[in-house]
Amino acid sequence: MKKGETQLPILIVGVISIVLLLYLFGILSPIADGVRALFLPVQRANAFVMSALGFHGTGHNVVELEKRAKDLEARVSTLSVDYVKIRSLEEENRHLRETAKFLQNSTYDHVGARVISRSTDLRDSYLVIDRGSNDGLEIGMAVVVDDGVFIGKITQLYSRISRVTLVSDEQSRVAATKAGETKLLGVVEGRGTQLAQMTLIPQNEPLNPNDLIVTAGIEEKIPPNLVIGIINRVDSKPTDPFKIATLEPLSLRDRIDLVIVLRPAVLRPEPGL
């Protein structure tokens, strides 16, 4: 073996040992943040290019997605008709106005972010966004897409990037209720597929397919009335204390390129600071 060849492995092992030590003592974090900041523009550009080229991620092909989108659109239309029948026109208008203007009416500030990476495994549904603690984000904050549909919450963050765990992830849990109600109805749990499950619904609560499910707002950083999805099926046995419902999230994870993170207004940085 040549002299140079023996020296390099020793050098690499030395560098790795030093990096490991620095990592264990937490000295490496500012350097890691610096390197991340260096590469973040490249990641953003990559994500932009991929979105522009029509690549949005995994799981479905375009034909299947279009079919699903049409199906959802049809169901939303049916839902709207049902609402007209059930509620008065005035109440419905108020609700729609509230949904459309939830950002202005709520006490929540918002931060826009671009998706720079995403999971390729449906069981582990997450997105990586290009905003982090430097932008005022915190763990547990709600993430919505531009029309106000709740897609998940922040579960891990660095100074410049964060991980958003989606509603359909196996580890996701969100307190939820029916649209138009204020009390907690159940918990929306991910199933590791495109679907989610609403559990712990009391037997005496009426719940039907095509009911709209929204956030309950009992979690500190998640505002109420953010649309999560539509009930697909309700499973109920008279002997069980709770009902279970299958929920179809309204956001297609394969189509998410830009998201909005909601943060309580009290966390908004003061001007001039």
- Residues in contact with other proteins, total (CB under 8 A)? 43
* Residue span binding other proteins (CB under 8 A) among the ranges 70-78, 113-121, 225-233, 244-252: 113-121
> Among 55, 80, 93, 146, which residue interacts with other proteins (rule: CB under 8 A)?
55
Beta bridge partners of 196: 190, 247
Taking the complex as a whole, the smallest distance from the CB of residue 266 to other proteins amounts, in Å, to: 27
Residue 240: what residue type? D
In the complex with other proteins, the residue whose CB is nearer, 49 or 265, is 49
> Among 18, 21, 27, 35, which residue interacts with other proteins (rule: CB under 8 A)?
35
Taking the complex as a whole, the smallest distance from the CB of residue 118 to other proteins amounts, in Å, to: 5
Taking the complex as a whole, the smallest distance from the CB of residue 88 to other proteins amounts, in Å, to: 45
What is the footprint of other proteins within residues 116-135 (CB under 8 A)?
Answer: 116-121, 123-124, 126, 128
* Residue span binding other proteins (CB under 8 A) among the ranges 97-105, 114-122, 175-183, 194-202: 114-122
Distances 184 to 92, 98, 187, 231, 246 between C-alpha atoms, Å: 21, 19, 8, 16, 17
Long-range CB pairs of 184-192 (<8 Å, 24+ gap) are: 184/216, 184/218, 185/213, 185/216, 186/242, 186/245, 188/213, 188/228, 188/229, 188/247, 190/125, 190/166, 192/122, 192/123, 192/124, 192/125, 192/168
Q: Which among 234, 150, 242, 224 is positioned nearest to 183, based on CA atoms?
A: 224
Beta bridge partners of 32: none
> Among 51, 193, 199, 246, which residue interacts with other proteins (rule: CB under 8 A)?
51
Reduced to 3 states (helix: H, G, I; strand: E, B; else coil), residue 200 is strand
- Residues in contact with other proteins by the rule CB under 8 A: 4-5, 8-9, 12-13, 15-16, 19-20, 32, 35-36, 39, 42-43, 46-47, 49-51, 55-61, 116-121, 123-124, 126, 128, 156, 161, 163, 170-171
